[in-house]
Chain A
Amino acid sequence: MNSDDPKFAALDARMRRMMAGLDAQAGFEARVMQRVAAKAARAGAVSPDLRAQFERRREIVQRRLRREAWSNAITIAGIGVAAGALVWRYAEQIVRWATASDLLATNGTAVLLAIAFAAVGAALWPLRTRLPGLLK
């Protein structure tokens, strides 16, 4: 800019003098630091609250999963007991049917073992993913 131009010289001098005072009031840095500290304190106050909320939610979910694991185990055990009771109740008819069909006569031991393994396997299969929950 052509500050040497006499047309502008007087203007420049006055404008510089006038604008030189354009500044924040004294103590600005201290006020900014106070505002920053207040902001930081508020941010710090929110954080533990959020942590506590998260912990509460986690505890609720863990309890729900444990409850579900127990109820599943009880259901499976109930089905097992009911199946056992049925077999016990109708044992004679089952033996009669097996004898009449000649199944046991030819491969008696093998068939009995296969049925026993299948029953145990079927009973334990749903437990394979529930065991960690049950152990808690």
Chain B
Amino acid sequence: MPADDAIVQLIRAGWTEEAFERLVPAYRRRVFGLAYSLLRDRGAAEDTTQEVFVKLWQALPRYDGRARLSTWIYAITRNATISALRGRRRPVSMSDPAVFDEVEYRSATIDAGPEDAALWRHVAALPEKQRQAVILYYQDERPVDEVAAMMGLPVNTVKTHLHRARASLAAALGAGGGLT
């Protein structure tokens, strides 16, 4: 990725502040998407995304280039998100769709019609890895290998999750006549 190369060159030259200024807009959506796909709450995802960038700002001078910049950032994001999940007072699980529905319906469907709200609910009801793969895949029409890098999983595993998720959502879309 050319943007990554420029950022890495700035870090190596000791220009970490300049590197950080480029890194934030380059990774904002990806970090937010990854945090959101696990947390399922926009407020918490935004807070975690900020936390991740503060961590990156602190760790940037120690980045040694052994791992790809994106891989390094995704690992930090996953760890921060898992910590945020553990730190929640009341754990929210996929087996508790009512909680997810409530949060998602209010935060994600402000501008959406009832059809999209129903689709959100089906996304919410997917198993965790499938839901994560679907969110990251569609957020920016990412290639599967990038989704796999973000999730820290093999490409074929992500392909399987995506295939199952899409089949399940397409079936729901068909059965619901557009999920109204």
Residues in chain A within 8 A of chain B (CB atoms): 1, 7-8, 10-12, 14-25, 28-29, 31-32, 35-36, 39
Contact B58 A39 (CB under 8 A): yes
How many CB-defined contacts (below 8 Å) exist between A and B? Answer: 80
Complex partner residue of B116 from A1, A14, A25, A36, CB under 8 angstroms: A14
Contact B135 A1 (CB under 8 A): no
Query: Cα distance A134–B54 when bound, in Å?
Result: 52
| Residues on B with beta carbons closer than 8 Å to the beta carbon of A21 | 108, 111
Query: Cα distance A39–B174 when bound, in Å?
Result: 51
Identity of the chain B residue whose Cβ is nearest the Cβ of A15 in the assembled complex: B138
Identity of the chain B residue whose Cβ is nearest the Cβ of A10 in the assembled complex: B173
Identity of the chain A residue whose Cβ is nearest the Cβ of B178 in the assembled complex: A10
Contact A15 B50 (CB under 8 A): no
Residues in chain B within 8 A of chain A (CB atoms): 20, 24-25, 28-29, 32-33, 36, 45-46, 49-50, 53-54, 57-58, 108, 111-112, 115-116, 119-120, 134-135, 137-141, 144, 159, 162-163, 166, 169-170, 173-174
A contact patch SS: helix
Complex partner residue of A22 from B25, B32, B111, B159, CB under 8 angstroms: B32
| Residues on B with beta carbons closer than 8 Å to the beta carbon of A15 | 119, 134, 138, 169
Extra 16 A-B pairs, beta carbons < 8 Å, given A14-B119, A16-B141, A29-B24: A1-B137, A1-B144, A1-B162, A8-B166, A11-B169, A14-B116, A15-B138, A19-B139, A21-B111, A22-B29, A23-B29, A25-B46, A28-B46, A29-B28, A32-B53, A35-B50
Q: List 9 A-B contacts (CB under 8 A).
A: A1-B162, A14-B119, A15-B169, A17-B116, A18-B138, A19-B135, A22-B36, A22-B139, A35-B54
Contact A18 B58 (CB under 8 A): no
Contact A18 B32 (CB under 8 A): no
| Residues on A with beta carbons closer than 8 Å to the beta carbon of B57 | 36, 39
Query: Cα distance A19–B169 when bound, in Å?
Result: 14
| Residues on B with beta carbons closer than 8 Å to the beta carbon of A10 | 173
Contact A18 B119 (CB under 8 A): yes
